[in-house]
A and B are shown apart, each in its own frame.
Chain A
Amino acid sequence: MRPKTCFRRNARPSALRLSSVILATVVAVILAGCGSSKPSSSTPSSSAPKHGGSLTVLEGDSFAGSWPGLDPATDTDGAANMSYMDAIYGELFELTAGGKETGDLATGYSFTNGGKTVNITLRQGVKFSDGSPFNAAAVVWNWKRDLAGNCSCKPVFIGTPVIAQTGTYSLSITLSYVDAPFINALQGDIFNWIASPTAVQKMGEKAFAIKPVGAGPFTVVSDVPDSLLALKRNPNYWQPGLPYLNSLTFKPVSSDETALTAMDSGAGQAYEGMSTPQLVSSFKAKFQTTAEPSTSPYDIQLNTKIAPFNNIKAREAIYYATDAALLDKSLFGDTYPVGESFTAPAGLFYEQTVPGYITYDLAKAKALVKSLGGLSFTLGTISVPTATELNEAIQTEWQAAGMKVTLASWDLTGLIAQFEGGKWQSMLQTAGAYDPGTGVGVCFRFCSTSPFTGVFSTTLNGLLLGAAGTVNQAQRKALYDQAAEYIAKNADGPFLFPIAGYNIADHGVGGPGLTTPLPVTDVNPEILWQYVYNNG
């Protein structure tokens, strides 16, 4: 058994590490989104990108808009701060159109040693913005520093991984097991961001966290944590002619509404992760609105260990009573693709339907509830507007089937405590990730080894962990399909739909991830800042 596989990436749940775990799975969907099958870019900018200009990007402050410090080794909000980190440090691997992992500061990777060793080659001739060389020694130094620290943001491995420099521009990491999603999991992970060792040593960690130095397209001009991050073009950036922008500024806003008025008044030209479906039309009227492709559907977790959901009849009643299509229609105007599994259109291994999945049938639900002599329980979720709103609507549906549902919501710490206590009965959550094998992927909600599961099945463990340990993509897909069928057969919990976030941009602003959709990998959408331009 590999107890921590499910947590591989960013997966240390911690109240401080807001970004990574439950938040990642719930808030991610809400704030940063996960995919819609109808990516709707209202007016794609057709003009060619021009050099120069500046861009102010707004970030929702409940998630991406707060950053304690920007040193990868200590940034507890790392995944949430992906945009800032990518802009300052660049990435070893970036996700490009069609969901391809492409080398940015790295050039390639390979699995050897039966899949247990990952070899990475780096781009040559790259320099950090302080002039020091970017090479394998720097990466090894960073990774070792990441692992040695006690940040809740550090990646978790079983056993101690062996990190070795194999050449000036090549290195390897060897685990005690096969970790197929290793490269995919780098998205939003602190391993993907390489700090300048010289700068860290010269400035000290505290000062470095406020004015970090990397090899990305931008360098820091001023950084007031949680309120303003001003960046300027890195003149020594390795890609000639890039970035397009001369300056890039990030500002937090308190809500989607405030972002709307802020953009109206010209206080910002882009907004990442708009998550209030009711405001889409307001944004669309004035700006380019791009739906983020989603990877994590909402699901209802049922605690199969305790009453009433230790009884499969009660679980089936939930399936019969849940009309996901109606929820989508009433709350979100029929926007999102209703699905039957832990995958979503923009993720890997997507299947919309699952054989044996129980669909909505109110009469059967009523009959089951009756035969059970009533069904009363608590449905919880994280206290984030979209989630609580969805819960209220679900409660309404279930009550129609004769169930008695009490609602509850907690902040992240409270939610963790609920799972710790093991007394929870049902939870509205999100499951899945771009690669189901990564940190907040499926195992997180369905492996009995995870503290956040309501399913305790060794069969399911075997399928999911087996998939994560298989490098061959076709074999992996077969295992995930089997897992989805297994979940459906046992009625472990119904799936709803992934709720997409939207990226908003002024006309004249464009770039991959911002105005053309890129898959949401872990938490945030990937935006490739070096290609972002402002022609307006």
Chain B
Amino acid sequence: MSVPAADLLASAPAQDLRAGAAPRARGWLRNLEIAVPGTVLVVLLFFCFIWPLVYHVPDPTVGNLFQVNLPLWSPGHILGTDTVGYDIMSRILYGGRVSFEVAAAVQLIGLVFGGLFGMVAAYRGGWTEAVMMRILDVFIAFPSLVLVLAIADSLGPSETHVIWALSAFSIPAFARVSRAATLRLRDQPFVVAARLAGTKTWRIMLRHLTPNIAPQMLTFSLLGASLTIILEGALDFLGYGIPAPTATWGNMIATGESFISVYPRLVIVPSIFLLVTSICLNMMGDGLRARWGVR
């Protein structure tokens, strides 16, 4: 499902559908395109990971039964409390932690395994490549949500399982990107020269190919992180993700859905955080791509 951007990138043929699509600004505006989402992300990361260490934030899974359903801006509960007296701000922060952790882990797994897979396929070429790419086609044929849902359900609900399930979509996506990037490099003079000089394959991959495809992989991992956060939320929302009462944005939205007409803020607050995070990741990815001239 979901954010077609990265999903489409995952399923798109090697050439990039979005390249050249964005009108590019100049000068300060261009810097802003990266600086604004970058700053927002840093602030979010700071509050999710550092703030609870330096300042007392209520436990996200210990409620106060005498303070249920407090509205926004209540003293001590800046975003109010939910139906069982959990502090919403605290759940947003700890939920953000989970989102970022899962996104980072899934991107890392995709980067390492998918990146290697794609690189090997492109570098070896021929039948090896054909077979490897057909395997990827199989994974990409399934809508990512459906694939992830089926795996997550079989594995059972936990954060680690969610990470593995989401990797089932991130690995093939990274493999495609890495293959496309490697293909462009394979016959470049410096690679050919290294090969002719008798450099070992793994060394060529490590020393010559990896640094050159890194920008592409990094920008892609930002777009992928955005999708991962949304997919993870979808799993939670449908009840196949990280089990409640663990604070995650998806769980918060799912719980709030039951009272949407009475307490719409229970859905709106986590939705805003989810939306802002995923927009910022996408903008960063896009902005860096343009700046580095990555196709």
Contacts and interface: CB of A to CB of B under 8 A. Distances in A.
A276 B258 contact: yes
A396 B61 CA distance: 8
Interface stretch (B30-38, B83-91, B94-102, B221-229): B83-91
Contact of B261 (A282, A393, A397): A282
A408 interface: yes
B63 A392 contact: yes
A140 interface: no
Contact of B258 (A282, A383, A385, A409): A385
- In this complex, the member of A260, A276, A326, A385 whose beta carbon has the largest number of chain B beta carbons within 10 angstroms is A385
B258 A392 contact: no
A257 B62 contact: no
Contact of A257 (B239, B245, B258): B258
Interface stretch (B64-72, B117-125, B201-209): B64-72
A396 B243 CA distance: 17
Contact of A397 (B65, B156, B244, B258): B65
A423 to B, nearest CB: 15
Contacts of B84: 330-331, 389, 392-393, 396
A260 B86 CA distance: 26
Main secondary structure of the interface of A (DSSP, over half): helix
Contacts of A392: 61, 63, 84, 86, 244-245
B259 interface: yes
A85 B258 CA distance: 29
Contact of A393 (B85, B255, B262): B85
A37 interface: no
Interface string B230-269: 0000000001000111000000000101111111000000
Contacts of A490: none
Given A330-B85, A388-B244, A407-B245, A255 B65 contact: no
A409 B62 contact: no
A383 B64 CA distance: 22
- In this complex, the member of A326, A330, A331, A407 whose beta carbon has the largest number of chain B beta carbons within 10 angstroms is A330
B259 A278 contact: yes
Contact of B65 (A256, A257, A327, A408): A327
Contact of B257 (A255, A279, A389): A255
Contact of A409 (B243, B255, B261): B243
Nearest to A260: B261
Interface in A406-441: 407-409, 411, 414
A261 interface: yes
Contact of A396 (B64, B244, B258, B261): B64
A107 interface: no
B239 A383 contact: yes
- In this complex, the member of B65, B255, B257 whose beta carbon has the largest number of chain A beta carbons within 10 angstroms is B65
A6 B271 CA distance: 46
- In this complex, the member of A383, A388, A392, A399 whose beta carbon has the largest number of chain B beta carbons within 10 angstroms is A392
A388 B263 CA distance: 18
Contacts of B255: 385, 389
Give the bracket for the number of chain A residues in contact with chain B: 20 to 34
Contacts of A399: 62
Contact of B260 (A257, A383, A391, A409): A257
- In this complex, the member of B63, B84, B259, B263 whose beta carbon has the largest number of chain A beta carbons within 10 angstroms is B84
A279 B260 CA distance: 10
B262 A279 contact: yes
Contacts of B261: 257, 260-261, 279, 282
Contacts of A327: 65
B245 A278 contact: no
A140 B255 CA distance: 48
Nearest to A411: B239
Contact of A276 (B66, B85, B243, B259): B259
Contact of A331 (B62, B68, B86, B258): B68
Contacts of A331: 65, 68, 83-84
Given A255-B257, A261-B261, A330-B68, A396 B85 contact: yes
Interface in A296-348: 326-327, 330-331
Contacts of B243: 383, 408-409
Contact of A278 (B62, B65, B83, B244): B83
A327 B83 CA distance: 11
A138 to B, nearest CB: 43
A327 B68 CA distance: 11
A179 B177 CA distance: 69
A354 to B, nearest CB: 25
A395 interface: yes
A414 B260 CA distance: 28
B257 to A, nearest CB: 7
Contacts of B258: 255-257, 276, 278, 385
A295 B105 CA distance: 48
B234 to A, nearest CB: 16
B260 A396 contact: no
A391 B65 CA distance: 12
Contacts of A408: 243
A257 B244 CA distance: 21
A396 B63 contact: yes
25 contacts: A255-B257, A255-B258, A257-B257, A261-B261, A276-B258, A278-B83, A279-B259, A279-B261, A279-B262, A282-B261, A282-B262, A330-B85, A331-B65, A383-B239, A383-B244, A385-B255, A389-B84, A389-B255, A391-B245, A392-B244, A393-B85, A395-B61, A395-B62, A395-B245, A409-B243
Given A385-B258, A389-B255, A407-B61, 10 more contacts: A278-B259, A279-B259, A330-B85, A331-B83, A331-B84, A383-B243, A392-B63, A393-B84, A395-B61, A407-B244
Interface of B: 61-66, 68, 83-86, 156, 239, 243-245, 255, 257-263
Closest 9 CB pairs of A and B: A330-B65, A396-B63, A392-B84, A393-B84, A278-B259, A330-B68, A392-B245, A385-B258, A257-B260
